[in-house]
Amino acid sequence: MCTLYSNPSDPQCLSGRIDEVMDRTLADKRLVGAVIKVAIDGTMVYSRAAGYADRGLNRLMREDALFRLASVTKPIVSTAALVLVAQGRLQLDDRVDRWLPEFRPRLQNGELAQLTVRHLMTHTAGLSYRFFQEENSSYQRAGISDGMDQSGITLEENMRRLASVPLLYTPGTEWRYSIATDVLGAIIAKVTETTLGEAIDSLVTKPLGMSDTGFIAADPERLATPYANDYPEPRPLLDPDKIAFVDGTAGFLLAPGRALDAAAYPSGGAGMVGSAGDFLHLLETLRQGGAPLLPEPLVHEMTTNQIGDLPMPFWPGRGFGLGITVLKDPAAANTPESPGTWRMGGTYGHSWFVDPKQRLSVVAFTNTLLEGMSGQFTVDLCEAIYASIRS
């Protein structure tokens, strides 16, 4: 029987199974490079960097490589908001316009919306992303940034533009993945009376020693070069670049240089840079109860479904907590994960999940868009890990 302490080169054991998935995906030229870290019961049982951080420069991937996090930013910013809740400085049911007086979007019928922090954190706020909409959509016409392009505007200006567009639905009645965490970031900055970057540093990253994580790359020499899926192999991402998403949608507008630009506004939903090790530390902190950041009851609320039976497009079988998805039905989601597992991904090629029942935390950061976030690699990796720990 394979155990955590078996020969790591045994192909039936965790290390061997993950290595096989990683090596096959790299050989198939579906990924350029990746860093995978796995912790079980608080112990690191797998950590490997493979492939290239920059293929053109023959620069190998390293375990402390820095990546553009895209939506992996969301759980970090959501944690910061909950730290403010724990400190009594913010309430989940505070109205958004208490903190952002000018952020008062209207419903489709022209009435002012009743929008709360809880709506933002559960993505039931009536908002969307430009990349989900068709070309020449309301967001595009208003010049709204998704937080990954080089927009040349401030966070405050992006919030003004967003508030000028009617909400898609009455808050609390639907679930749609959205720019809501950018609005949450603006609230965090207002509550702390500082910049969002400084707030995240004081509330989350500094207390945990996450020195690699911020809105600007801490060490440009360690920043991985991003690639887009292409045939016969991924191509380097342009700056700027446009990447197709789902048929009929506008797709992603990306500016990789944003990770090195201190003038780019801090996007709470997509703008941070960090390492796999830093992010695993945050996940393990939350899985083990939240100390020193959060009390356990708040972590429980964060990681428990908060949206009832509202359908979640693209994520069947899952619900949503406060900033993260939560697995309700493994069969519907077609996954070996245990019920209650929380996970998310990121446009630049990342996936992660925490299975509290198995005391398991997994971080897989890649430098290849979409394949790492939602492609076959993510499925194969998950299945390899569960085949090992349940054998």
What's the sign of the alpha-carbon dihedral 360, 85, 306, 301?
positive
Per-residue pLDDT tens for 245-282? 877 888 899 999 999 999 999 999 999 999 999 999 99
Query: Which of 9, 15, 47, 71 is an active site residue?
Result: 71
Reply yes or no on whether 71 is catalytic. Answer: yes
Q: Which residue type occupies 110?
A: G
> Residue 247's pLDDT is what?
78
Per-residue pLDDT tens for 140-168? 999 999 999 998 999 999 999 999 999 99
pTM higher than 0.75: yes
Q: φ and ψ at 192, to 5 degrees? A: -85, -5
Predicted confidence (pLDDT) at residue 11 exceeds the cutoff of 60: no
Residues 6 or more apart whose CB falls under 8 angstroms from that of 333 comprise 315, 316, 317, 318, 327
> Residue 1's pLDDT is what?
40
Q: φ and ψ at 281, to 5 degrees? A: -60, -40
